[in-house]
Amino acid sequence: MEQNRTIHELLQLMLDNQHMFIKGLCHWAIIMYHYDIFTKNEYSLLFEFINDNKPNNFNTRIEIHGRYYWKKGNIEPRLRWIKKYIQKTKP
């Protein structure tokens, strides 16, 4: 049976695996799925969570960053976002 960890746990795993970051949050999560760190269900849950919790600047993302919420390849704003939601989803 597949393990389904909480959003809190999945975000912590992302934070713990910063070496897997290349360009964006969703891409980072898919890499972790392909390396069997996330199950398919966990990846889907996390992808939905990312889309449901867009950063404040998401209205301008298309004009400024294309398909990314922040500049592609810049991990720092993504780490701040992850840390914010680790705190908000703390059990």
Q: What is the pLDDT of residues 41-58, one digit of tens each?
A: 999 999 999 989 988 765
Alpha helices in 1-91 (DSSP H): 7-16, 25-34, 40-52, 61-65, 76-88
Going from the C-alpha of 2 to that of each of 5, 38, 44, 83, the distances in angstroms are: 10, 10, 13, 26
- State the pLDDT at residue 27: 93
Percent of the chain past pLDDT 70, that is, above it, reads 86
The predicted structure's pLDDT at residue 66: 58
Q: What pLDDT score was predicted for residue 63?
A: 44
pLDDT score at 3: 66
